[in-house]
Amino acid sequence: MHFLLSDYHLSRRDEFRLFAEQEIDTGDRFPRENLKKAAERGYLGLPLPEEWGGQGEDFLTYILLIEEVSKVCAATGAIIAVHTSVGSFPLLYFGTEEQKKRYLPALARGDMLGAFALTEQGSGSDAAALASTATACDGGYQINGSKMFITSGGEADLYTMFVTIDKKLGYKGITAFLVEGGSPGLGAGKPEKKMGLNRAKTSELTMEDLFVPTSNRLGEEGKGFKIALSLLDGGRIGIGAQGLGLARASIEYTTGMLREEERAGRKIEQGVSFALADLAAKLEAARLLVYRAALIKDSGQKCSKEASMAKYFATDLAMEAASRCIDLTGYSGAGSDNPLSRYFCDAKAPQIYEGANQIQRIVVARELLQD
């Protein structure tokens, strides 16, 4: 097995790293300017085919982008990941030719921002329990209900939305639709006040007699659950890359601080150096899991187990690294103006979204037992 990135991937990684460090800001508002800069470089369509306006890059290259951007601003990394993996890929994989022509080039250019509307109050990890409904009407469907915790809610231009045509059918009634932002009947609540990642707006969506034409149904009726499940592996690898970036940020910041301590003549205690070494080893392990999952996806093979392992290991490490690094730097690390406190707060959400890490362990165990 070859564990080194190719020269091409190394050059793209360095390109993304330079972009993130020099162009990405870490302010408080929705990072519209960050997204604009990324779009200008083709990064919002990085893995989309060239025929649809994308860059045609492999999935590993896209993962390197998410890692580097997330290291500087995890919120921007999350928005780009959602836009790409669950905001654009559904259309690429399941859209009609007409739907692709209408939306994919705009998504690839960054003229439109994509989002994913699945989660509801009573259907988080159990997606099949969603209650929002689509009722057939003349020329299309009327959608009623609500969604919650939608990344880029109220900011996105195109939502891949999942509702049921008949609650009695369970997951067999779930159907996917392409819903344009600003459509009559579509509302967005105030952004949720989260402990971190607040630049990535997370809002409730409400649908009141929202009309969606039949031409905007994605796939056949009742095939929405299959569509949603097909996107999970790629999305989870992307969140794993976000965890990598956050873990790296904490470890590299703390290493720099300790290095300065040594230069100033203050000896680093052995317990501190051991803790740092353990985090560095876990970071390498997480990197191998995430990159390997991306490579397996690129090969076209099933990667559910590997994607879940990468997601939960890397995001758990992001939280562990931030917490441990605050311990290692003392009171200063917990200060509100210290980046470690931001990394700590940002690291919690990735453990939960795209399938909570407890769910990831269920997926891994199920795959092992089936084998």
Provide the pairing of β-strand 140-151 with 186-188.
Answer: unpaired
Cα 193 to the chain's mean position, in Å?
A: 19
User: pLDDT, tens digit, for every residue of 19-57?
Assistant: 999 999 998 899 999 999 999 999 999 999 999 999 999
Tokens of 335: 């200060």
Write down the pLDDT at residue 37: 98
CB 113 within 8 A of CB 104: no
Tokens of 18: 């330079």
Secondary structure class of 126 (helix, strand, coil): coil
Write down the pLDDT at residue 28: 87
CB 258 within 8 A of CB 325: no
Write down the pLDDT at residue 116: 96
Query: Closest by alpha carbon to 66, among 191, 202, 236?
Result: 236
Q: Which amino acid is at 104?
A: L
Write down the pLDDT at residue 166: 93
Q: Which residues are catalytic?
A: 354
Instruction: Give the C-alpha distances (Å, rounded to integers) separating 71 from 18, 24, 166, 301, 363.
Output: 12, 10, 43, 29, 27
**What's the mean per-residue pLDDT of the chain?**
94
The backbone torsions φ and ψ at residue 181, rounded to the nearest 5 degrees and listed phi first, read -60, 145
How many CA atoms, within 13 angstroms, populate the side-chain half-sphere of residue 341? 9
CA distance 105 to 44: 11
Tokens of 23: 């162009």
CA distance 145 to 76: 28
**Residues contacting 132, CB < 8 A, separation 6+:** 120, 143, 144, 145, 146, 147, 162, 163, 164, 207
CB 306 within 8 A of CB 296: yes
Secondary structure class of 18 (helix, strand, coil): helix
Positions of the chain with pLDDT under 70: 1, 124-125, 331-336, 371
Write down the pLDDT at residue 332: 66
Provide the pairing of β-strand 114-117 with 217-218.
Answer: unpaired
Write down the pLDDT at residue 129: 81
Write down the pLDDT at residue 147: 96
**Residue carrying the six token digits 């896209």:** 62
Cα 287 to the chain's mean position, in Å?
A: 17
Write down the pLDDT at residue 303: 95
Query: Closest by alpha carbon to 100, among 57, 141, 47, 51?
Result: 51
CA distance 233 to 326: 32
Query: Domains in the chain, ordered, with CATH?
Result: 7-109 (1.10.540.10), 114-222 (2.40.110.10), 232-370 (1.20.140.10)
